[in-house]
Amino acid sequence: MKPAEIQSRFSWPIENATLRSVLVNLVEKGHIIRKLHGKAFFYGACAKKTTLLQNMLQTMARVFAGGSSRELVAQLVETGDIKPKDLELIRRVTVERTSQKTKRK
């Protein structure tokens, strides 16, 4: 993605120079890659989205819930960050995933 595309997806305003600085830092740390196409740089993730989400969940669980994903979800429910409709989605995804695992065995 071009920096302008990334900037348009931010949920808050970010200056172009700030974004470019952040992108350079992420490239240097090996979190993203940068390729030159013509005169423009394009940026992309180095890891799959699922890997990043799993790592983030493990970190959040370790920091906020003693390493337990179950406890992290319970805390989110207790603090009101997860609504009943969210719980229904979690239940539905869990049932679907469990049935897929059962079919593979």
Q: For residue range 31-55, what is the model confidence (pLDDT) as tens digits?
A: 899 999 999 999 998 888 888 889 9
Q: Hey, where are the domains in the chain? A: 3-45, 49-104
State the Cα torsion 94-100-101-104 to the nearest 10°: 180
pLDDT digits (tens, 9 = 90+) for 69-102: 999 988 988 887 788 888 899 899 989 988 887 7
The one-letter amino acid at 26: L
Q: What's this model's pTM, rounded to 2 decimal places?
A: 0.55
